[in-house]
Chain A
Amino acid sequence: MLFEGTPQIENAVRAVLRDVLGLSQDRVDALRPETPLFGSLPELDSMAVAGVLTELEDRLAIVIDDDEVSGEMLETFGALTTFASTKALT
């Protein structure tokens, strides 16, 4: 179940990063699971993190509690996708 839904979740995460951070389609297409995000993407400052999380909530119909937000979930594209999948598919 988790596995089946993951590509759609991954696409949603890419689209959110593109729309919220203003990244080009080429840049979001190039994101790999190991691509570092927070601290490496200059567009992703702490204010932008708030926008990314809220937009993920809207698009995936999930609720992210404050205490779930950590440096680890934002460390790489893979970590963020895994977090989003776990929230959306359980």
Chain B
Amino acid sequence: MLRFGPDDAPTVIAAPALFEEGNRTRALLVDVLHRLAARGIAGVLPDLPGTGESLVPTARATVLRWREAFEAATERVWRSGQVASSVAIRGGALLDTLALLPARWQLAPMRGEEVRAELLRTMRAAGFDGDPAALSADGDGTPIPVAGNLISRRLWSELADALPVGQDGECSVRIVRLAGDPRTADARLDGTPMWRRAEATGDPILAEALAVDIAGWIARCAA
């Protein structure tokens, strides 16, 4: 787990993008958290089960375990006396649903079904030519290899109907998308979809624009 910024300030808990997209957007996310810290907003980047420094094997991770871990991280912020809110990237928007949060901020959020379609496409690119319907077949059977990572069949099944918390436009959920993305959003910012890039470079201009948007939203909704 990484902590950023002051101890006694409104605190965002970061829900990173899932799987390979999480690797590709980690530098961007850490950059945004540093920039929020510089604006007096604290940040927490938890190592969710099966990710980062977590000791849980990747094949044991499930959506439910991620959600429970995210809720526990949120609970610690509330117990420390600070106002908690979440900042999610892409599939990370699926992870904060159990947490007690007055305000959620999401960059290009995804439905679980879309996460699954991307995993399947990655598997196809790596040579998988089986029937995707067979992947859900047995709840806790052998893990599914996705381009070198093992994911559990339960996680695969959970993604079929996992959704982010519903959106209402302002405080409870604020959705930000990149300029080329036509789907519903509360704001659109110029920038590169770093989650697509195999050689992810930084994007300080986007990170700054994201930090400004989040800081303004925290001031209105969760300070």
Contacts and interface: CB of A to CB of B under 8 A. Distances in A.
A65 to B, nearest CB: 11
Contact of A49 (B125, B180, B201): B125
A50 to B, nearest CB: 4
Contact of B180 (A12, A22, A48, A50): A12
A15 interface: yes
Contacts of B164: none
B122 interface: yes
B129 to A, nearest CB: 9
A20 B121 contact: no
B220 interface: no
Interface string B182-206: 1100000000110011110100000
B182 A53 contact: no
A12 to B, nearest CB: 7
User: For the side of the interface on A, what is the size category?
Assistant: 10 to 19
Nearest to A48: B198
Interface in A56-74: 58-59, 61, 66
Contacts of A22: 197-199, 201
Given A22-B199, A55-B196, A47 B180 contact: no
Contact of B118 (A15, A20, A50): A50
Nearest to B127: A46
Given A22-B201, A47-B122, A47-B147, A61 B193 contact: no
Contacts of A59: 180-182
A66 B117 CA distance: 10
A50 B182 contact: no
Contacts, number: 47
Interface residues of B, number: 19
A66 B124 contact: yes
A45 B193 CA distance: 18
Contacts of A46: 125-126
Nearest to B200: A22
B182 A61 contact: yes
Given A20-B196, A20-B197, 16 more contacts: A12-B180, A19-B196, A20-B193, A22-B198, A46-B125, A46-B126, A47-B147, A48-B198, A50-B118, A50-B121, A54-B117, A55-B193, A59-B180, A59-B181, A66-B121, A66-B124
11 contacts: A19-B193, A46-B125, A47-B122, A47-B198, A50-B118, A54-B121, A58-B181, A58-B183, A59-B181, A61-B183, A66-B124
